[in-house]
């Protein structure tokens, strides 16, 4: 099957792929953390993954993509979606932190475990919200 | 349609027999931007509104209007 070389079409395809991929990454990150056992299960891998996702959220990915395509992928709508997604991640992290602080029975968490839960849920919320908003923007396009 | 802004972008585009992709190319934006503006999901910035108007050979006021009370 041939693909168009029109920059708008290329940006459209890559933008859809990015939205799906980031959504799947968010779900996978959450699933892996939910299945993790032990106080400091694979903390090196978790740190690496968290930093990778934060970089993806900060840059929008596609650093090797042509400048024109990247500009189209990250135009007004995507920047607005990005702002909303990052805000959702922030509020999720804050509410999670408050929950860990106040909910009875979770005070046995170590500081490292608590940080891990807060960061994980913050990142997952941002990834999922960004993915949802981007896919909604593509709907019927 | 967004309650704060009415737009006639789809009508103007179809009147000129353009697809969303063709208008996106003319306005140097992505197709999802055209889609979200047409559907009232996204309120365009001033620059984007001017770009769309220029691409369609229309005025901004022809494409976007504040709702009447």
Beta bridge partners of B41: none
User: Pairing state of beta strands B6-7 and B64-65?
Assistant: antiparallel
Helices (H), chain B: 9-15, 20-27, 31-38, 46-56, 60-63
Q: Which two tokens mark A115?
A: 């940080």
User: Which of B28, B30, B36 is opposite residue A12, by nearest beta carbon?
Assistant: B30
For the question of an ipTM over 0.85, the answer is no
Q: What does the alpha-carbon distance between residue A141 and residue A6 come to, in Å, rounded to a whole number?
A: 16
> What's the pLDDT at A66?
85
What is the pTM assigned to this prediction?
A: 0.87
The pLDDT-based confidence of B27 (bands split at 50, 70, 90) is: very high
> Locate tokens 């009370």: which residue?
B69
- Interface with chain B: mutation pick from A7, A8, A140, highest number of B CBs within 10 Å: A8
- A5 at interface of B, judged by CB pairs closer than 8 A: no
List pLDDT tens digits, range A4-24: 778 899 999 999 999 999 999
């Amino acid at each position: 099957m041939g693909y168009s070389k029109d920059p708008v079409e290329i940006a459209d395809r890559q933008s859809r792929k990015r939205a799906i991929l980031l959504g799947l990454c968010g779900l996978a990150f959450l699933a892996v953390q939910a299945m993790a056992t032990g106080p400091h299960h694979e903390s090196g891998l978790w740190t690496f993954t968290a930093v990778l996702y934060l970089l993806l959220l900060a840059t929008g990915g596609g650093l090797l993509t042509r400048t024109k395509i990247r500009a189209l992928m990250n135009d007004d709508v995507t920047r607005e979606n990005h702002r909303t997604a990052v805000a959702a991640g922030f509020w999720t992290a804050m509410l999670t932190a408050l929950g860990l602080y106040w909910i009875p029975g979770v005070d046995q968490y170590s500081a490292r475990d608590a940080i891990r839960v807060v960061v994980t849920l913050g990142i997952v919320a941002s990834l999922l919200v960004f993915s949802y908003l981007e896919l909604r923007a593509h709907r019927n396009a | 349609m967004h309650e704060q802004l009415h737009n006639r972008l789809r009508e103007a585009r179809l009147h000129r027999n353009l697809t969303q992709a063709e208008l996106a190319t003319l306005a140097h934006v992505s197709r999802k931007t055209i889609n979200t503006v047409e559907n009232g999901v996204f309120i365009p910035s001033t620059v984007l509104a001017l770009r769309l108007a220029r691409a369609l050979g229309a005025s901004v006021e022809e494409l976007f209007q504040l709702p009447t009370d």
